[in-house]
Amino acid sequence: MNKPQAEGKVNLRPYSRIPNMRTHSLLFIISCILGCSAEFYVIDDRVGLGREFDGIGGLSGGGATSRLLVNYEEPYRSQILDFLFKVFTCASLHILKVEIGGDAQTTDGTEPSHMHSKDEANFFRGYEWWLMREAKKRNPNIKLIGLPWAFPRWVGEGTQWPYFFPNVTADYVVTWIYGAKQHHNLDIDYIGIWNENKYDPVYIKVLRDTLDSVGYTNVGIIAADGDWSIAAAMLENPYLNDAVEVIGVHYPGTKTVEEALLTEKKLWSSEDYSTFNDDIGAGCWARILNQNNVNGRMTSTISWNLIASYYENLSFGGDGLMTAKEPWSGHYLVESPIWMTAHTTQFTQPGWFYLQTVGNLAHGGSYVALIDRQGNLTIVIETMTHNHSQCIRPPLPHFDVSPQKATFQLKGSFAHLTDLQVWYSKLDFETKKDVYFNQFVYNGSFTLRLDVDEVYTITTVNTGQRGSYPEPPKSRPFPKNYSDDFTVDNPPFSEAPYFADQTGVFEYFRNSTDNGSHAFTLWQVVTERPVTWGDYSWADLDVSCAVLIETPITGGVFLAARVDQGGESVREAKGVFYWIYANGTYKVTNDIGTREGVWYTLTLSVKGYFAMGLLNGYPLWKNAVVLEPKNSWAALGTLSFEYAQFDHFEVNAE
């Protein structure tokens, strides 16, 4: 982790070299002295204000992207949270958007619903409540957003369509908002409709009416978390237009549409980025943070995802602002997108305004200027090149960026400024010696010699800081020998450490019918296969677990090894699956006498190209040939939508 650099002070003068710029930048400066002229850009508030700035955020969920974060021990977990949320430190995010769990696989796992059925509610399942509380501790003004990706089946009354009974769906969502306030003292600021699915104008109106009827008039509706198509509908439907506060679009490529501008609503890139968090990902993020406003007049950009805290071999591994995927070691990585975020978030706040004098630089790149209308000014400049700033989507048309000299003239109420803080980052793809978030001071108007792949923040705000923590522990693999009997009297979270639900919801359970060795279990409460767990590299291993089938005749459970798919591809997973069923059969032969309501211990052993299975310690089948996959996770799960319990899980890998 880079340590903060000492503050430097420079007086602005023609052709002064900025500290920490690399040799190739100095050569460009010399060439400019010999004949390169500066382009002029005016920063002036007299021509009027642009749109109100709504903040930069991160998204936890869609799905289960923060799953491993909760299992970090202190002080590392708090350090990670500080990097994301602490005011004037590192990312200093303005917005936290979370998934409203729906008991279904939504990209990298399942997040539990607060209402598995219409007759019960539990506002302590999962970890999003905890994450929102921790974010609020570090930034009391952070905005909170909830969005469903999926719904429990009962919400659609069995129709698989949540809009079929709009009142039921609206009540379900409003109950989540109620739980946030009543049980966690969290005020939800915005609520979404249904992630990247069709919107329904009737449902949106019913949701607005339901919110208003119970006093949540300040909760704004974001719609429709997909494309721009709702904008045209809002122009034609005044009731829909009145109900929607924010038009939220995903991956807009920094462009908007005329219909959206005509609504005069807030325009947000409510999900963006989704790119591996190396320096190219940082370039993507730096570019769209500016250009979403310059090109698209959007006033908020939210990163999917907040933090890559899930097993890397799942879908979109590493696509977070930072990485924390080893709670067993305490290791985490503060990736370069964190510092690109800080260039905006530490020096602005929601409620500031963009100036109309923003735009693109003559030789590539962009600049924005924001003010708080109380005398503060922040300018953010980026010069990201095409090949070093490609996001995962949409395709990026070619453009050119070259070194350039830019003079910024401060006019209007800023003409008198004599003390400007300057923060600088360089993504150096040639020498690999990046510079992150270094600080200098300028006096008055200024001329910058801009190289490619740089970010500057010039600001009157003097509270910015990098922050500093000791190095986190070294990375190390998941333990080869691990066990869990799930004996926890008052678990802090509903899910057992390191298990990552992929299809289904597995919760700690106090089994009141058993006062013996199975008094505490892991209970599958909703759906089917499989639950990915552990280290993707496991090849030769023995995995064992006690299981209890609860559904007569048709019920069944499995234990698995070398499961090669999780996330969105979980239903195409290959591996070694050892099934037993309540009707007395198992995967290979039948008539073994298994039934519901009785505990069995399954043991699966995979060595090289062969697998064998034991039931209660006795070999049941052996020498099953396993050609592929050659390594992957261990897993457990159920046959169908049914209850089942698991206990005394153990794995021993070679």
Task: List, for residues 209-224, the tens digit of each pLDDT value.
Answer: 999 999 999 999 999 9
Token pair listed for 161: 């369509």
Chain segment 10-21, per-residue pLDDT in tens: 222 222 222 232
Chain segment 316-342, per-residue pLDDT in tens: 999 999 999 999 999 999 999 999 999
Confidence bin at 593 (pLDDT 50/70/90):
low
Judge whether 528 lies within some domain: yes
Q: Amino acid identity of 417?
A: L
Instruction: Tell me how far CA of residue 77 lies from CA of 132, 310, 333, 621, in angstroms.
Output: 14, 15, 12, 44
Q: Which residues of 229-268 are buried (b: 16+ CB within 10 A; e: fewer)?
A: ebbebbeebeebbebbbbbbbbbbbbebbebbeebebbbb
Q: Please state whether the peptide bond connecting residue 224 to the residue before it is cis, i.e. omega within 30 degrees of 0.
A: yes
Judge whether 24 lies within some domain: no
Judging by DSSP bridges, how do beta strands 576-581 and 556-563 pair with one another? antiparallel
The 10 Å Cβ neighbour count of residue 419 is 10
Judge whether 59 lies within some domain: yes
Place of tokens 């008991």: 103
196, 245, 259, 650: the catalytic one is 196
Q: Amino acid identity of 9?
A: K
How far is CA 252 from its chain centroid? 18
Q: Nearest 5 degrees, angle CA 236-CA 144-CA 303?
A: 80
130 lies in the same domain as 90: yes
Return phi, psi of residue 528, to 5°. -120, -165
pLDDT above 80 (res 294): yes
- Per-residue confidence (pLDDT) for residue 449, from 0 to 100: 94
For 29-38, 109-118, 591-600, which range has the lowest pLDDT when averaged over its residues?
A: 29-38
Judging by DSSP bridges, how do beta strands 353-355 and 481-484 pair with one another? unpaired
Confidence bin at 530 (pLDDT 50/70/90):
very low
How far is CA 226 from its chain centroid? 17
Q: Which of 639, 435, 430 is nearest to 549 (CA)?
A: 639
412 lies in the same domain as 517: no
Cα distance between residue 561 and residue 266, in whole Å? 49
106 lies in the same domain as 219: yes
Cα distance between residue 605 and residue 561, in whole Å? 8
Judge whether 260 lies within some domain: yes
Chain segment 440-466, per-residue pLDDT in tens: 656 567 889 999 999 999 999 999 998
3-class secondary structure per residue, 9-30: CCCCCCCCCCCCCCHHHHHHHH
Chain segment 354-410, per-residue pLDDT in tens: 999 889 999 999 999 999 999 999 999 999 999 999 999 999 999 999 999 999 999
For 109-123, 347-361, 394-408, 587-601, which range has the lowest pLDDT when averaged over its residues?
A: 587-601
Q: Amino acid identity of 243?
A: A
pLDDT above 90 (res 527): no
Average pLDDT over residues 644-654: 95
Q: Is 388 helix (H, G, I), strand (E, B) or coil?
A: coil
Judge whether 5 lies within some domain: no
Highest mean pLDDT among 104-118, 285-299, 614-628: 285-299
490 lies in the same domain as 612: yes
76 lies in the same domain as 128: yes
Place of tokens 């409460």: 525
207 lies in the same domain as 292: yes
Return phi, psi of residue 613, to 5°. -125, 140
Q: Which of 231, 337, 246 is nearest to 284 (CA)?
A: 337
Chain segment 149-187, per-residue pLDDT in tens: 999 999 988 788 899 999 999 999 999 999 999 999 999
Interacting residues of 213 by C-beta distance below 8 A, sequence separation 6+? none
Domain boundary among 405, 428, 459: 459
Domain limits at 376? 49-459
- Per-residue confidence (pLDDT) for residue 569, from 0 to 100: 79
Q: Which of 10, 70, 2 is nearest to 467 (CA)?
A: 2
419 lies in the same domain as 497: no
421 lies in the same domain as 517: no
Looking at the structure of the chain, the number of domains it has is 2
- Per-residue confidence (pLDDT) for residue 26, from 0 to 100: 26
Cα distance between residue 136 and residue 74, in whole Å? 18
Cα distance between residue 572 and residue 602, in whole Å? 23
Cα distance between residue 230 and residue 143, in whole Å? 24
pLDDT above 50 (res 617): yes
Query: Residue 187 maps to which CATH number?
Result: 3.20.20.80
Q: Active-site residue 245, yes or no? A: no
Cα distance between residue 208 and residue 220, in whole Å? 8
Q: Active-site residue 271, yes or no? A: yes
For 85-89, 321-325, 527-531, which range has the lowest pLDDT when averaged over its residues?
A: 527-531
- Per-residue confidence (pLDDT) for residue 274, from 0 to 100: 97
Mean pLDDT over all residues of the chain? 89
385 lies in the same domain as 527: no
Confidence (pTM): 0.91
Judge whether 28 lies within some domain: no
Chain segment 51-84, per-residue pLDDT in tens: 999 999 999 999 899 999 999 999 999 999 999 9
DSSP 272: E
Q: Please state whether the peptide bond connecting residue 394 to the residue before it is cis, i.e. omega within 30 degrees of 0.
A: yes
Cα distance between residue 340 and residue 454, in whole Å? 10
Q: Please state whether the peptide bond connecting residue 305 to the residue before it is cis, i.e. omega within 30 degrees of 0.
A: yes
65 lies in the same domain as 200: yes
328 lies in the same domain as 388: yes
Token pair listed for 329: 């070691």
Query: Residue 606 maps to which CATH number?
Result: 2.60.120.560
Confidence bin at 7 (pLDDT 50/70/90):
very low
Judge whether 33 lies within some domain: no
403 lies in the same domain as 504: no
Confidence bin at 468 (pLDDT 50/70/90):
confident
Domain boundary among 427, 459, 491: 459
Judge whether 44 lies within some domain: no
The 10 Å Cβ neighbour count of residue 392 is 14
Domain boundary among 404, 424, 459: 459
The 10 Å Cβ neighbour count of residue 533 is 26
pLDDT above 70 (res 620): yes
111, 271, 326, 335: the catalytic one is 271
pLDDT above 70 (res 4): no
Confidence bin at 586 (pLDDT 50/70/90):
confident
